[in-house]
Structure 1
């Protein structure tokens, strides 16, 4: 059996989604009506922070949080909202954007080059502190 490359999956996803660059994403961020979705692991958020006002959606929970029939549903995934998905570099968010579109969300954009580029461009970041027990 041949394993399909994760990079092939990302490239296929990119053919089916719309992406947005930093400059245009920053405009939408400043308008305050677009929901930014951070798909990274919690340890990544703790290390680098997140885009100001973004919602953290662990990649493994995305489908469950989008589906209104799921007990894990989050109401901010109302299909009327506009979303920008991001991760560190854009790979996970490309796959996640494709999944969200397949599930019925309409206004989903993928942040090109992820939060890594956002930070380089001096986009607003908020620090995250994880409570340790």
Structure 2
């Protein structure tokens, strides 16, 4: 028996999220690199980060832990999210980060996202840092 059709698509979810969140264009984000009150938060998978590099100084928060790391009532809370700073989330192309920013907004956490993601950051000449491969043991 075939599975029932989805009632909404990911593309529709991203479009709805983008209509209600703050989106930062790549050129503007690159210009913000020196802002000490800004934190770039990379929600990509560790394999993406190791393969493609990272925005220098960015904080890695795996997408699956986002809600838990942001919530001060969670046992997984990360102090960086308790700081009075501006947070710009990013993924590879801007879809996951748009959904993440909308979710965080629903939680009462202010966040923007890099509209076109890390791939556009690289295309537009934003600085990229390589990660050292982790030793397996």
1:26 partnered with 2:30: yes
Alpha-carbon displacement from aligned partner over 1:2-45 (angstroms, at most 9, x marks no partner): 41211111111111101011121122212232000001001000
Q: Which secondary structure state, in structure 2, belongs to the residue aligned with residue 127 of structure 1?
A: coil
Could you say which residue in structure 2 is the equivalent of 1:88? 92
Please give the alpha-carbon distance, in whole angstroms, between the structure 1 residues aligned to 2:83 and 2:20.
Answer: 18
Greater Rg over alpha carbons, structure? 2
Residue of 13, 16, 32 corresponding to 2:17: 13
- Aligned residue pairs: how many? 132
TM-score, structure 2 normalization = 0.91
**Any unmatched runs of 5+ in structure 2?**
none
Q: Name the one with the larger helix percent.
A: 1
**Any unmatched runs of 5+ in structure 1?**
none
Q: Name the one with the larger strand percent.
A: 1
Please give the alpha-carbon distance, in whole angstroms, between the structure 1 residues aligned to 2:116 and 2:40.
Answer: 14
Q: Which secondary structure state, in structure 2, belongs to the residue aligned with residue 16 of structure 1?
A: coil
- Aligned Cα root-mean-square deviation (Å): 1.2
TM-score, structure 1 normalization = 0.93
